Structure 1
Amino acid sequence: MTPAPTPLAPDTVLALAPDPASAQSGRKLATPGKWQNLNAPRAACGASARAAARHPT
């Protein structure tokens, strides 16, 4: 059995960003609201993608 990877601290991840703009974009993507379909059934994700294609933001 493979051990689970150790989670990285936010400061560690931000230190890997090549520039401040990339770090800021990463902070925005790190919010849970951006990943509401994570671990959702595949059919739900497909429906969400089709709806987004019909109504782009």
Structure 2
Amino acid sequence: MNLNFAGVEDTAPDTVRTAYTPSDFARLRTLKARYDPANMFKINFNIPPGAAS
């Protein structure tokens, strides 16, 4: 999946996950937990915060 060509129906986290390798998605979730733990920036292609390290 290429997020550049995704539509509004493709914004669910499970769908967004398919655009990344599992390790990249986990790394992005860790970064999101560090810089946006409240998930303030959740509109559009949301990557939910994961466990911060």
Asked which structure has the greater CA Rg, the reply is 1
Report the TM-score when normalising by structure 1.
0.36
The higher-RCO structure (CA 8 Å, 6+ apart) is: 2
Higher helix share: 1
Q: Normalization by structure 2: what TM-score?
A: 0.38
